[in-house]
Every structure is written in structure tokens, then in C-alpha cells.
């Protein structure tokens, strides 16, 4: 287990450094960015930038200072939104994004595994095809098409939920964004679970379990599930990345005051420090999450646990 953990760390740490370094260099070559000498910026912002970036020092020193500041959570000032540092903006948007993202993943797991198992146990039946067919739709229809449709159906035609907005963070404003975020993942996880469960159910050790005269419920819940769910656990990493990516668009559509919204505005306004800051934060979160998922997988798979 330990050697496995170390191996995964050896992947995670360089990834982190690549992200940080790429961001560093991107900022410096961006035309119209804080390092572009020809660009004229309002004097207050100019002052902030000079203070934040030590432009007269050699590149290596700048890099070192940059890394140092990152570890202290200092991403520098925003160049388009006055009086706010990137860190402050990200913190402001974090609660909303976290709530939506975490809830969406939780829902996706519960419903995805549920539907997938349900379909797998009725392999090749009408129910199986129906569930997999609907899942296919969930995967093929992009979330930026699904979201306005949901808004239209539930917000306008049925009028049971607000079409957009955040209000004071009451729950009715969160329902549609969470569903929109969760749907593609429910579909993916359902298909993944179904495929994996079907494969496990055809394996030799399930045949042995049945030959031992065990109740079908035991066969499925004790013998089949563990093996079937391992690929789902592996998928959690990419799933979270997908939810993060999706949140960018979902937050825009529903007017959710989260990191995604700030990110889009920053991208459209060329607020480079904010764009970099969000990219780094998201990358760090994903890298840490992938590492965690890898650890959980290592604990669940006996072959890795004992080694």
C-alpha cells in the first residue's frame, strides 16, 4: 500500500508543478496582460501590479517569490476588479460552487449506481435497454443545452422552480443547477456500473457463489458489488473534474455567484490573474482529489492493500 501511495504522489506532485509553472509563463507572455509594457492600465491597478510582481527582479527570483506566495494563498490582485485580490474573489465564490458541486456528485453516485445496478440485474430486458437508452441521452445532450431546457420546463412551463438567480441561497434556487450538473454524471455512472456489474456477474467467482447455494441477494450485495464498484471509484476523479468544468457553464446560465461565474467574466475580460488563480485552484483541487480517490481505491482492492 505504501509503495502504491508513493507512486501516486510521484505523479501528483510534478503535475502540480507543471500547472503552476505553465500558469506563471502564460501570464508573462499574455498580450495585454500585466507584463505587457505597451498596455496602459489605470494608475491604481498599475501600482498594485508593481507591488505584487517585483518586475525588476530576475526571472528565477520572480518564480521563487511566485511559488512562495502561492503557498500562502496569495494569487495577486485582480486587474479588472478594483480593490479585490484574486484570493478574495475566489473565496467569495467558493461556498456556492462547493455546495452545488458536492451535492451533484453525491446525487450522481447514488442514482447512477442505483440505476446501473437495477439495469444490470435485468440484463437485456426492456428495462435494461430503457435505462441505458435514457443514460445515452444524458451523455449526448450537452449540459448547456439541458440547463436552459430544465429552466424552461420547470421554471416557465411548470412554474415550480425559479428559472435563475440565487436569492439568499434558499434551496429552491439550488435545485435546478444541481440537477443540471448531476445529470450527465448520473448517466455516465449508470452506464459504467451496469457494464461493470454485468461483467462481474458473468465471472467465475459469482458462479462459485451460486454453486454454494447462497441467496441471490447475498450473491449480488456481498460478492458482486465490490468488484463492480471499483471502476466507479476510479471514475470519481474524472467525474469531479467534469462537474467542475460543467459548473462553469451551469453557474453562468443560472446566475449562481460561484467561482465559475467569476471565471467566465474574467476570461471574457482578460483578467489574467483571476483566470490563472481559478485554474490553479481547480487544478490543485482535482490533483488532491485524484490522489485521494487513488488512496481509497488502494484500500478497497485487496491486491494493492496487502502489497
Partner 1 sequence: MTTNHILTVENLTTRFQTPDGEVEAVNNVNFHIDPGETLGVVGESGSGKTQIFLSLMGLLAKNGSSSGSVRYKDTEILNLPARELNKIRGVSMSMIFQDPMTSLNPYLKISKQMTEVLVEHRGMSEAEALKRAIAMLDRVGIPGAAQRVHMYPHEFSGGMRQRVMIAMALLCDPEVLIADEPTTALDVTVQAQILDLLRDLQKDFNTATVMITHDLGVVAGLCDRVMVMYGGRVVETGSVRDIYYDSHHPYTEGLLKSMPRIDHANEENLFAIPGQPPNLQNLPTGCAYQERCGYVMERCSKERPPLKAFDQDRASACFREDGQ
Partner 2 sequence: MMNKSEKTAMLEAAGAPVEIEGRSLWRDARIRLFRNKAAVGSMIILGIITLLAVFAPLLSPYAYDQIDWGYIQEGPNWENGHIFGTDGNGRDLFIRVLYGARVSLAVGLLATSVSLVIGVTYGAVAGFFGGKIDNIMMRFVDVLYSLPFMFFVIMLMVVFGRNIFLIFVALGAVEWLTMARIVRGQTLSLRRREFIEAAHATGVSNFKIIFRHIIPNVLGPVIVYMTLTIPQVILTESFLSFLGLGVQEPLTSWGVLISEGAKVIEASTWMLIYPAVFLALTLFCFNFIGDGLRDALDPKDR
For 5, other C-beta atoms within 10 Å of its C-beta total 14
Burial class (CB in 10 A: 0-12, 13-18, 19+), 23: buried
Question: Applying CB under 8 A, which part among 27-35, 148-156, 202-210, 235-243 lies near partner 1?
Answer: 202-210
Task: Report the candidate in 31, 69, 34 with the shortest Cα–Cα distance to residue 55.
Answer: 34
Give the per-residue contact string, 120-159, with partner 2 (x = CB under 8 A; - = no). ---xx-----------xx-xxxx-xx-xxx-xx---x---
In the bound state with partner 2, the residue whose beta carbon lies nearer, of 227 and 273, is: 273
Task: For partner 1, give the closer residue by CB, 163 or 203.
Answer: 203
Half-sphere exposure of 184 (CA within 13 A, CB side): 24
* Residues 202 and 127: beta-carbon distance below 8 Å: no
- 59 contacts partner 1 (rule: CB under 8 A): no
110 binds partner 2 (CB under 8 A): no
Yes or no: say if 221 and 197 are a contact pair by the CB < 8 Å rule. Answer: no
Task: Return the residue of 44, 54, 222, 288 that touches partner 1, per CB under 8 A.
Answer: 222
Site string for partner 1, 113-152 (x = CB under 8 A): ----------xx----------------------------
Give strand pairing partners of 85. Answer: 77
Of positions 275, 277, 298, 301, contacts partner 2 by CB under 8 A? 275
Cα distances (angstroms) measured from residue 213 to each of 121, 151, 199, 222, 302: 18, 51, 21, 14, 25
User: Which residues of this chain interact with partner 1, rule CB under 8 A?
Assistant: 123-124, 203-205, 207-216, 218, 222-223, 226-227, 300-303, 306
Amino acid at each position: 500500500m505504501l509503495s502504491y501511495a508513493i507512486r501516486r504522489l510521484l505523479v501528483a506532485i510534478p503535475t502540480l508543478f507543471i500547472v503552476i509553472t505553465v500558469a506563471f509563463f502564460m501570464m508573462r507572455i499574455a498580450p495585454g496582460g500585466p507584463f505587457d509594457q505597451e498596455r496602459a492600465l489605470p494608475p491604481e491597478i498599475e501600482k498594485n501590479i508593481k507591488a505584487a510582481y517585483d518586475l525588476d527582479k530576475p526571472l528565477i527570483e520572480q518564480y521563487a517569490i511566485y511559488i512562495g506566495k502561492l503557498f500562502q494563498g496569495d494569487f495577486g490582485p485582480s486587474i479588472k476588479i478594483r480593490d479585490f485580490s484574486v484570493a478574495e474573489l475566489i473565496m467569495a465564490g467558493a461556498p456556492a460552487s462547493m455546495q452545488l458541486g458536492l451535492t451533484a456528485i453525491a446525487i450522481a453516485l447514488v442514482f447512477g449506481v442505483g440505476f446501473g445496478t437495477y439495469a444490470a440485474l435485468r440484463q437485456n430486458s426492456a428495462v435494461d435497454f430503457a435505462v441505458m437508452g435514457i443514460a445515452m441521452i444524458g451523455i449526448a445532450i450537452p449540459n448547456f443545452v439541458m440547463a436552459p431546457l430544465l429552466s424552461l420546463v420547470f421554471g416557465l412551463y411548470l412554474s415550480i422552480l425559479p428559472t435563475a438567480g440565487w436569492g439568499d441561497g434558499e434551496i429552491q434556487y439550488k435545485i435546478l443547477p444541481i440537477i443540471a450538473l448531476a445529470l450527465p454524471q448520473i448517466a455516465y455512472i449508470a452506464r459504467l456500473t451496469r457494464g461493470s456489474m454485468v461483467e462481474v456477474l458473468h465471472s467465475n467467482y459469482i458462479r462459485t457463489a451460486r454453486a454454494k447455494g447462497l441467496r441471490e441477494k447475498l450473491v449480488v450485495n456481498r460478492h458482486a458489488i465490490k468488484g463492480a464498484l471499483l471502476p466507479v471509484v476510479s471514475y470519481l476523479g474524472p467525474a469531479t473534474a467534469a462537474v467542475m468544468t460543467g459548473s462553469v457553464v451551469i453557474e453562468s446560465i443560472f446566475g449562481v455567484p460561484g467561482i465559475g461565474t467569476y471565471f467566465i467574466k474574467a476570461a471574457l475580460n482578460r483578467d489574467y490573474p483571476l483566470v490563472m488563480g481559478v485554474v490553479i485552484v481547480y487544478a490543485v483541487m482535482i490533483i488532491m482529489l485524484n490522489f485521494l480517490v487513488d488512496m481509497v481505491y488502494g484500500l478497497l482492492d485487496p491486491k494493492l492493500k496487502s502489497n
